[in-house]
Structure 1
Amino acid sequence: MKKKSERNTAIILLLVGAMALAGGIYLFIGKLEFLKNATVTDGVVTDLESGSSKNGRTYRPVVTYRASEAEEQTFVSQMGASPAAYEVGEAVKVRYEKGKPSTAVIDSFWEVWGTITVAAGLGAIFLAIGIGTIYAAVRSKRLRKELPSTGRMIELPGRTEMVQSKSKTEFYIRTEWHNTEDGKLYQFDSEKLNFDPTPFLTNRLVQVWIDPQSPKKRYFVDVSFLPEEA
């Protein structure tokens, strides 16, 4: 890995992604069992329960339905929306397990599968980011090992570019190369840095190792001349 912090971040993303995906699978299996045993009946939205969120107020429908045992049951949906997804007096279908009124949900895709979809989706995203980070690091390490013996080194002027986010500011060195053989202009970026390398670029050319057959995808910018980060 280029940095220890990146390796740790990738590991955390993989763990969080795996846990979220495993949770989604567990919920999915439980939901299939619920659907196998559940009964569908008619219900009506009798009220809207309001609450606050980052996007303002959300509204969860309060639903009353009559179970097959003939007693009337009421539950509050776990899914809120803004604006309200249902109106008071609106007829809905309710799915529940006999003898287990606490299992009742509005029979719609989002009400039944929403939590599972979110958990599995987030898990897949975190896993993809973590795997992508590790793949990029392994690929970069391989190029650094291969290209000095199989590729070509070119020396180019470098300039500092900056990337800002809410949590941090990072820098990288950008170089450009006009290949007279194919007439194309190639752009090469170094790995991300936690400090501004501008003072170390004065009167210096940056070494870039490229694969002549695929310079756009297979290259690395040598930043070994920079001081090590504390």
Structure 2
Amino acid sequence: MKKASELLTGIAVVFLGIALFGTGAYFLQEKMGFYTQSTQAEGIVIDIESRRHRSTTYYHPLISFESEDGNTYTFSSETGTSSGFDFNKGDKLMIRYIKEDPQMAKVDSFIELWGLPAALLVSGLLISLAGSYTCYNYFNKMKLRKELLKTGKLIQLPGRVESRKSKNKTEFVVVSEWLNPADSKMYTFTSDKISYDPASFLTDKLIDVWIDPMSPKNKHYVDISFLPEKG
């Protein structure tokens, strides 16, 4: 059942997001250092190199350029594509290189210069926000439950078990329905997710459901604390 595990998951996701964001910031600083110290030149594609990564072949242009010292250098682009027709021999590309060390060169494109740090920064931020929302949702849920135990209304209802697919596993919830005599509307209350089928523990049992009579749809708590923890 979801308890502190939800909070721990949220915290772990937040730290993962922070780690990705920090890595992105590191690479961004590195790329900015290269950009400010480098100079621009025109390069020409002299060959296409194929590299196998898992089940996909990527094609990287081999680029030749002449530096300010009059020497010719070649380098392979860090960025490859899965299509062998994106680059052709003889294509001209703008590149950047370090004057003091012309062998340190990159294609002057957003993907090659900023793609990796941008992807890490954005994914790190989004993952951190997702983890923060999970933590917020957990604390908000705990606060609501404490309030309902003090000021809410207790109703006892029959419960049924429903199974729900979540990624590669099946989880279960206890569902109860209640006809509100105040507005003649039927409300459905759903418990936290359970890792096993609790049907055998619901036989001839009424489920405690705490509600806010003014807002039962949004403020309710299905008490399944009577269920044993999975061993």
Name the TM tier (shorter chain).
0.7 to 0.9
Counterpart of 1:31 in structure 2 is 31
Distance 1:97-1:200 versus aligned 2 partners, 3 A rule: same
Counterpart of 2:68 in structure 1 is 68
Alpha-carbon distance between aligned partners in 2 of 1:184 and 1:63, rounded to the nearest angstrom: 71
Counterpart of 1:77 in structure 2 is 77
Alpha-carbon distance between aligned partners in 2 of 1:64 and 1:113, rounded to the nearest angstrom: 22
Residue type matched to 1:172 in 2? V
Distance 1:92-1:198 versus aligned 2 partners, 3 A rule: same
Alpha-carbon distance between aligned partners in 2 of 1:102 and 1:205, rounded to the nearest angstrom: 75
Counterpart of 2:9 in structure 1 is 9
Q: How many residues align?
A: 230
How far the C-alpha of 1:113 sits from its partner, in A, is 0.8
Residue type matched to 2:107 in 1? I
Mean CA deviation greater in 150-159 or 37-46: 150-159
SS in 1 for 2:117: helix
Confirm or deny that 1:152 pairs with 2:159. no
Residue type matched to 2:64 in 1? T
SS in 1 for 2:162: strand
SS in 1 for 2:159: strand
Residue type matched to 1:41 in 2? A
Alpha-carbon distance between aligned partners in 2 of 1:29 and 1:136, rounded to the nearest angstrom: 34
How far the C-alpha of 1:49 sits from its partner, in A, is 1.8
**Unmatched runs of 5 consecutive residues or more in structure 1:** none
Alpha-carbon distance between aligned partners in 1 of 2:55 and 2:181, rounded to the nearest angstrom: 54
What percent of counterpart residues are identical? 39
Distance 1:155-1:39 versus aligned 2 partners, 3 A rule: same
Residue type matched to 2:194 in 1? L
Alpha-carbon distance between aligned partners in 2 of 1:197 and 1:16, rounded to the nearest angstrom: 33
**Map of 1:72-221 to 2, 5 A cutoff?**
72-84=72-84, 85-165=86-166, 167-182=168-183, 184-221=185-222
Mean CA deviation greater in 170-179 or 91-100: 170-179
TM-score normalised by structure 2 residue count: 0.86
Counterpart of 1:57 in structure 2 is 57
Alpha-carbon distance between aligned partners in 1 of 2:22 and 2:169, rounded to the nearest angstrom: 31
Alpha-carbon distance between aligned partners in 1 of 2:103 and 2:157, rounded to the nearest angstrom: 68
How far the C-alpha of 1:48 sits from its partner, in A, is 2.0
Distance 1:51-1:183 versus aligned 2 partners, 3 A rule: farther
**Higher RCO (CA < 8 A, seq sep 6+):** 2
How far the C-alpha of 1:180 sits from its partner, in A, is 4.9
Mean CA deviation greater in 194-203 or 184-193: 184-193
SS in 2 for 1:161: strand
How far the C-alpha of 1:31 sits from its partner, in A, is 2.2
Mean CA deviation greater in 126-135 or 106-115: 126-135
Show structure 1 runs of 4+ deviating over 6 A: none
Q: Is the 8 A contact 1:2 1:137 kept in 2?
A: no
Alpha-carbon distance between aligned partners in 2 of 1:122 and 1:211, rounded to the nearest angstrom: 38
SS in 1 for 2:93: strand
How far the C-alpha of 1:184 sits from its partner, in A, is 4.6
Give per-residue Cα distances to partners, 1:181-222, cap 9 Å, x unaligned: 445543332112111112122222322222233333322211
SS in 2 for 1:21: helix
SS in 2 for 1:203: coil
TM-score normalised by structure 1 residue count: 0.87
Alpha-carbon distance between aligned partners in 1 of 2:220 and 2:102, rounded to the nearest angstrom: 62
